[in-house]
C-alpha cells in the first residue's frame, strides 16, 4: 500500500512555494505581511524541507479587507500545488506585485484563493493572458478591479442558459418537430453570427400555432441552472435588487419569479396569442442585447445608483453589451466568443460561485442560509 496521507500547514516565504518539485492537493493559502501559510495534503516526502510546519489551521471566518487596486481569483475544482506555482510564476512574469492572498473556499471540490496585487496594467490583454493560463492549468481565473470586490446593489441576469439550463424557444421548437431548424438559428445568434432581432423573428414565425396550454406545462419543467437559487437568495438577503433581462419570454420569466427564483423585476419579450395559440408574430420592442443594456442602465438610474454598483450575468453574444456596463460582467458557462469578450467568466462552477467575486467566503455564505 502507498504512504499514509499527511496534512500540514507550512510557514514559508511566498517565493519558496514555487521551489518544490512535488505536486499535491492544496487546502488553503494565505499571505499577509510577507508571511505565507500554505495548507497541503501529501504522502511520502515533505514538499518543503527546512520549513516550519504544523497541523492544518483553516483560515478565519472573516476575509481580508480589499485594499489593492486589483484582484485575481483562482477557482479550482481540485486545487494543486502545481496550479499555485504556475500562478505565482505568472504574476511575477507580469510584474504584478502580490500584496495579500486569502482563501475564500477550502472545499476539496471548490477551492477559491484570492490574490490582491498592485500593478499598472491594461485590462483587456491582462484578462486574455489570465484566460490562457486558466485553460492550461484547468481552473477559472477571474481578474477584476479591487473596488469591485463587494456586494452589488443591482444585478441583471439573462434567463435562457443563465438562470435556466435551457433555451426555451428551442424547447418549444423540439415539441413542434422543427427543433433542429430552430436550434441552428439560436446557436448562430448566440455565437454572434446572426443579428438577434432577425433570428428572433424567424424563430417566432416557425412557432405559429403552438398552444398556450403546452406553454404552461413546459414552464413547470424548466431546469434551473446550478447555483441559481442559491445566488439569488443570497443577493436578496444582502439587499441587492435583481432583474431578469431576457431575449426570451415574459411568460416564463414571470413564472420563475413567481414560483422559483428570488427576482425583483422582469424585462423580456411578450408572446402574442390568438384563440389560445401563438400567432408567430413578435411584439415590439424586442429585448435584444442593446435593449438589455439600456434597461439595466435605466433601472440603476431609477434606483439612484452609479454603474459601479451594478453587475450583469449572462452567457450569449446578446449579453455582451450589458456585461460591459457595470462593475462586473460575469459570463457563466459562456459561448467561446462571449468568453473572449466578457470582462469576467466562470466556466467550471455554478452561478453561486459569483458570490466569491463579491468578496464573500464560504462561512459568510452559509450564514445567509438556504433558499
Domain boundaries, the chain: 6-148, 154-367
- The whole-model pTM stands at 0.93
Rounded-to-integer distance, Cα 365 and Cα 108, Å: 17
158 catalytic, yes or no?
yes
Question: Is the separation of the CB atoms in 120 and 97 below 8 Å?
Answer: no
Long-range contacts of 322-331 (CB under 8 A, 24+ apart): 322/156, 322/245, 322/289, 322/292, 322/293, 322/296, 325/293, 325/296, 325/297, 326/152, 326/296, 326/300, 327/145, 327/147, 327/148, 327/152, 328/144, 328/148, 328/152, 328/357, 330/354, 330/357
Helix and strand numbers, DSSP H then E, in the chain: 13, 16
pLDDT of residue 3: 65
The whole-number pLDDT of residue 59 equals 80
pLDDT beneath 50: ranges in the chain: 1-2
Name residue, grid cell 413542434. 176
Give me the phi and psi of 42, to 5 degrees please.
Answer: -155, 165
Q: Which of 99, 158, 315, 319 is the catalytic position?
A: 158
At residue 225, the pLDDT reads 97
What the block records as the C-alpha cell of 253 is 420569466
Q: 306 vs 64, 302, 368, CA distance in Å?
A: 25, 10, 26
160, 315, 319, 352: the active-site residue: 160
Burial of 21 (0-12, 13-18, 19+ CB in 10 A): exposed
Specify the CATH class of 6-148 in words: alpha beta
Spatial distance between the Cα atoms of 356 and 30, rounded to a whole number of angstroms? 16
Asked if CATH classification 3.40.50.1000 holds for the domain at 154-367, the reply, yes or no, is yes
Q: Is 160 a catalytic residue?
A: yes
Note whether 6-148 and 154-367 share their fold: no
Amino acid at each position: 500500500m502507498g504512504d499514509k496521507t499527511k496534512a500540514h500547514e507550512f510557514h514559508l516565504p511566498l517565493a519558496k512555494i514555487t521551489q518544490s518539485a512535488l505536486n499535491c492537493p492544496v487546502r488553503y493559502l494565505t499571505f499577509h505581511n510577507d508571511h505565507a501559510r500554505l495548507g497541503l495534503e501529501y504522502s511520502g516526502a515533505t514538499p518543503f524541507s527546512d520549513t516550519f510546519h504544523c497541523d492544518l489551521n483553516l483560515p478565519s471566518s472573516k476575509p481580508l479587507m480589499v485594499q489593492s487596486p486589483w484582484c485575481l481569483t483562482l477557482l479550482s475544482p481540485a486545487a494543486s500545488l502545481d496550479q499555485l506555482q504556475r500562478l505565482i510564476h505568472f504574476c511575477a512574469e507580469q510584474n504584478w506585485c502580490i500584496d495579500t492572498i486569502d482563501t475564500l473556499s477550502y472545499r476539496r471540490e471548490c477551492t477559491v484563493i484570492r490574490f490582491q496585487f498592485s500593478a499598472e496594467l491594461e485590462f483587456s490583454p491582462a484578462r486574455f493572458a489570465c484566460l490562457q493560463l486558466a485553460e492550461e492549468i484547468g481552473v477559472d481565473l477571474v481578474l477584476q478591479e479591487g473596488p469591485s470586490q463587494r456586494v452589488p446593489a443591482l444585478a441583471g441576469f439573462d434567463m435562457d442558459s443563465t438562470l435556466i439550463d435551457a433555451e426555451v424557444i428551442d424547447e418549444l421548437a423540439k415539441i413542434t418537430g422543427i427543433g433542429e431548424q430552430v436550434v441552428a438559428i439560436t446557436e448562430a445568434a448566440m455565437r454572434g453570427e446572426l443579428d438577434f432581432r432577425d433570428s428572433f423573428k424567424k424563430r417566432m414565425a416557425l412557432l405559429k400555432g403552438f398552444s398556450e396550454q403546452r406553454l404552461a406545462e413546459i414552464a413547470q419543467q424548466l431546469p434551473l441552472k446550478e447555483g441559481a437559487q442559491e445566488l439569488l437568495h443570497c443577493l436578496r438577503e444582502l439587499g441587492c435588487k435583481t432583474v431578469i433581462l431576457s431575449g426570451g419570454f415574459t411568460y416564463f420569466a414571470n413564472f420563475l419569479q413567481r414560483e422559483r427564483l428570488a427576482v425583483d423585476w422582469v424585462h423580456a419579450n411578450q408572446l402574442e396569442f390568438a384563440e389560445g395559440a401563438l400567432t408567430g408574430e413578435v411584439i415590439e420592442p424586442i429585448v435584444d442585447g442593446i435593449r438589455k443594456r439600456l434597461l439595466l442602465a435605466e433601472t440603476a438610474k431609477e434606483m439612484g445608483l452609479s454603474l459601479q454598483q451594478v453587475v450583469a450575468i449572462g452567457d450569449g453574444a446578446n449579453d455582451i453589451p450589458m456585461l460591459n456596463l457595470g462593475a462586473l460582467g460575469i459570463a457563466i458557462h459562456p459561448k467561446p466568443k462571449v468568453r473572449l469578450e466578457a470582462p469576467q467568466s466562470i466556466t467550471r462552477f455554478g452561478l453561486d460561485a459569483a458570490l466569491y467575486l463579491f468578496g464573500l467566503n464560504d462561512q459568510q455564505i452559509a450564514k445567509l442560509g438556504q433558499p
